[in-house]
């Protein structure tokens, strides 16, 4: 028996935070994309092809925003973290933030699976940003969102709910989404984060 293989991306519920649409609409859109790829197969039984086409036609009235795989914008060559921090402080926190910010240590070895873009030390009131975000291919909005995210940690500290401390609680997420380029920056991170696992080239 002939079989058709379709490659699927596995993701958790956090994936759906990248969209403004409801989860069911996102699922409908993803389902449509998978089924359209199935229709590209030449060896599909005609009765199955007709069934898929009818299903797609029935659900075509549920559009969803596509994830942009690339984000045009200013590169993160502007390396003045203090200036970026000061502007974000004025724009989103009425100038009320009082923390320090600096680049983190430039690690020369590749990360295997993940990369922490930034961190916040509440005892030192210090934000550290990973120096790989200096690279020109990283949009400025991604660097700004990283700084803004760490500022939110100072503005909205962890809360204890049901006996557990939560850092990214509901109020934190709501404040984070106020960043005007939130969706664009998150989409870029999802599409390109693996590129940041490699060490940065030496600065000229």
CATH class of 81-197: alpha beta
Q: What is the pLDDT of residues 111-150, one digit of tens each?
A: 656 678 999 999 999 999 998 898 888 899 999 999 999 9
Quote the longest CA-to-CA distance of the chain: 67
Q: What is the pLDDT of residues 48-97, one digit of tens each?
A: 777 877 777 776 544 333 333 333 444 444 568 999 999 999 999 999 99
Q: What is residue 64's predicted lDDT score, i.e. its pLDDT?
A: 37
pTM value?
0.60
Q: What is the DSSP letter of 2?
A: -
E strand or H helix that includes residue 161: strand 159-161
**Domain regions of the chain by residue span:** 1-66, 81-197
Q: What is the DSSP letter of 38?
A: H
Rounded CA-CA distance 176/195 in Å is 24
Tokens of 110: 């590749």
Q: What is residue 110's predicted lDDT score, i.e. its pLDDT?
A: 60
| 73: region left, alpha or beta (phi > 0 left; psi from -120 to 50 alpha) | left
């Amino acid at each position: 028996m002939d079989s058709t293989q379709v490659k699927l991306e596995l993701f958790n519920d956090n994936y759906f935070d990248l969209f403004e649409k409801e989860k069911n609409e996102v699922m409908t859109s993803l389902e449509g994309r998978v089924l359209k790829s199935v229709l590209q197969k030449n060896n599909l039984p005609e009765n199955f092809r007709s069934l898929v086409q009818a299903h797609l036609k029935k659900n075509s009235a549920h559009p969803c925003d596509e994830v942009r795989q690339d984000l045009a914008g200013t590169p993160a060559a502007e390396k003045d973290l203090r200036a970026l921090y000061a502007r974000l402080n004025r724009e989103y926190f009425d100038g009320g933030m009082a923390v320090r910010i600096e680049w983190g240590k430039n690690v020369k070895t590749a990360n295997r699976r993940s990369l922490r873009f930034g961190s916040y030390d509440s005892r030192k009131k210090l934000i550290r940003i990973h120096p790989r975000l200096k690279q020109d291919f990283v949009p400025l909005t991604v660097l700004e969102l990283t700084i803004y995210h760490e500022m939110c940690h100072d503005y909205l500290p962890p809360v204890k709910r049901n006996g557990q401390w939560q850092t990214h609680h509901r109020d934190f997420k709501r404040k984070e989404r106020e960043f005007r380029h939130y969706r664009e920056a998150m989409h870029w991170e999802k599409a390109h984060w693996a590129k940041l696992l490699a060490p940065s080239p030496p600065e000229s």
